[in-house]
A and B are shown apart, each in its own frame.
Chain A
Amino acid sequence: VTSLPVPSLSEASSTLCVFLILLVPLAGAGLALANTGLGRSRSAAHAMLASLCVLAVAAIVYVAFGFSWQGAAGRSAHVLAVGGKTWNWLAAEPFFLRGVRLDLSPVSLVILLQIFSVGLAGLVPLSSGADRWRLGATCASTALLAGWTYPVFAHWVWGGGWLAQLGANGLGRGFVDGGGSSTIQVLGGLTALSLTWILGSRRGKYSADGMPAAIPGHNVVLVLLGCIFAWLGWLGLNSAGAILFTGAEASRVVLVVVNTTLSAAASGLTTAAVTRVRFGRPDASLSANGWIAGLVASSAGAAFFKPPAAILVGAVAGVLIPFAIDFFEFRLAVDDPGGAVSVHGIAGLWGLLAVSLLSDAGVPGGMPGQGLAQLVGIATLLGFVLPVTYGLNWLLDRVYRQRVDREGEGQGMDLYELGAGAYPEFAVHSDEFIPR
């Protein structure tokens, strides 16, 4: 049994928590809209259907198996004794939530939040596989993420696992991530990176000499609308996470909401300013990516930052994003249509570091070793999550090819896999362009 106490919540806090958790699906809607808008029009219906399928598969697989590995703080788990200390590695819950009474108890609220959170993590790689990732493979890959990769790492961070307990080993108050910068965002970003490597780039993206061609998203309005939905969803995600996973009091929700908003605002504005300086005009889709990156970066420490620090966290994320997207595209030849690796992976890593650099992690005056605890968490993401998610997706690709056929890519995912386009009545009438 874990040594972390079972969190207790008053009825008012539990009710507030339910309300906050019910906002989280808006983050999924936002990411789905942004992913769709950043892809091609001939794959738009496929992208939205794939988003729904990801959310559906993630919820079912998580309830069936995922929660068994993740569990919650204070509940039964497999513990290893090394060096005179206990190491909590894996939860020991029955499959299909057997034995869990679904009411307003903390564990029920954790399950409710996780059903949505695991779907969010699954949506992240969708944007990097846009225009070439088969629907069946998307579902299978999501099942692997929701059934194994996500729950195991989330147990270590949120389920009373060894990363959460690093504080007992002299490392600050343990690895801190209230809203899922690591468990949802970086995990999703690393899965996205693995998939770009496994799927390869879109046809025509890179010339023979390795220069990338610009393939702009087909609907920037969808992308920007998605940012607004994502903002609302993130307010719920960060607030509910702060209450359930960092022990924050319900009154701290106001600070979390203020910090989340400030971080997104600073990041979106900074990216707009950077692109204005670099290209002469603000870039709408990159600014949208900057906005979401600010939300991502705020997740880990929104309950602990002071408002000026939240602005700084967002501003740094906003500067990082356009350069990171260019670096991955131009230098590393990673074809990531929605910029998921940068927006979720890089901004998430920055958010995790910012907890130790710009906050006291909830302990007045701070605690020695907090930076090291965050570093151990980041090392676990790179040294455990990346190999596992790459390995599972590589194996899946051997059994069931993940990339669509050459013919399908040329035709568009809508017609090839769904038999109908997203915009059947859309046609360009040449006479509209004749000068009158």
Chain B
Amino acid sequence: MNLAGFLLLVAGWGLVVSAVALLPFTVVRVVFILAGAFVELLGLALVIRAHLVLKVEKG
């Protein structure tokens, strides 16, 4: 779960950078940047959750 969370963080950033690099300044670009940020938030939530679970397992 930890690794998946970090992969989502990187993937979201990839979306953001790709949108900035490849799309013209339109609504589509804004939507892609926001989508990338949302993917990052999902990744962050997963990483946080993974460390909470690890903590419970370790006692």
Contacts and interface: CB of A to CB of B under 8 A. Distances in A.
Interface of A: 82-83, 85, 87, 166, 169-171, 197, 200-201, 206, 208, 210, 332-333, 369, 372, 375-376, 378-380, 382-384, 386-387, 390-391
A83 B22 contact: yes
Interface residues of B, number: 28
Interface string B16-59: 11001110110000100110110010011000100110011011
Given A333-B55, A379-B33, A169 B12 contact: no
A197 B51 contact: yes
Given A83-B22, A171-B25, A387-B9, 9 more contacts: A210-B56, A333-B51, A378-B37, A379-B33, A379-B37, A382-B44, A383-B9, A383-B12, A383-B43
Contacts of A387: 6, 9-10
Contacts of B12: 379, 382-383
A169 B40 contact: no
Contact of A372 (B14, B33, B59): B33
A387 B34 CA distance: 20
A193 B5 CA distance: 15
A333 B56 CA distance: 10
Contacts of A390: 6
Nearest to B24: A170
Contact of A369 (B10, B25, B34): B25
Interface of B: 6, 9-10, 12-14, 16-17, 20-22, 24-25, 30, 33-34, 36-37, 40, 43-44, 48, 51-52, 55-56, 58-59
B21 A82 contact: yes
B41 to A, nearest CB: 8
A332 B55 CA distance: 10
Contact of A333 (B17, B22, B37, B52): B52
18 contacts: A83-B21, A83-B22, A206-B55, A332-B51, A332-B52, A333-B52, A369-B25, A375-B33, A376-B17, A378-B37, A379-B13, A380-B16, A383-B36, A383-B40, A384-B10, A384-B13, A386-B9, A387-B9
Given A166-B20, A169-B20, A208-B59, A376 B33 contact: yes
> What are the nearest 9 A-B pairs in CB distance?
A383-B13, A170-B25, A379-B16, A82-B21, A387-B6, A83-B22, A197-B51, A382-B40, A383-B9
Given A169-B20, A332-B48, A372-B33, A382 B9 contact: yes
Contacts of A85: 21
Nearest to A380: B13
A50 B53 CA distance: 31
Contacts of B55: 200-201, 206, 333
Contacts of A171: 20, 25
Nearest to A328: B48
Contact of A382 (B13, B30, B33): B13
A296 to B, nearest CB: 20
A382 B9 CA distance: 7
A87 B16 contact: no
A379 B12 CA distance: 8
Contacts of A169: 20, 25
Nearest to B26: A170
B3 to A, nearest CB: 10
Contacts of B33: 372, 375-376, 379
Contacts of B16: 376, 379-380, 383
Contacts of B9: 382-383, 386-387
Nearest to B8: A383
A378 B36 CA distance: 11
Contacts of A201: 55
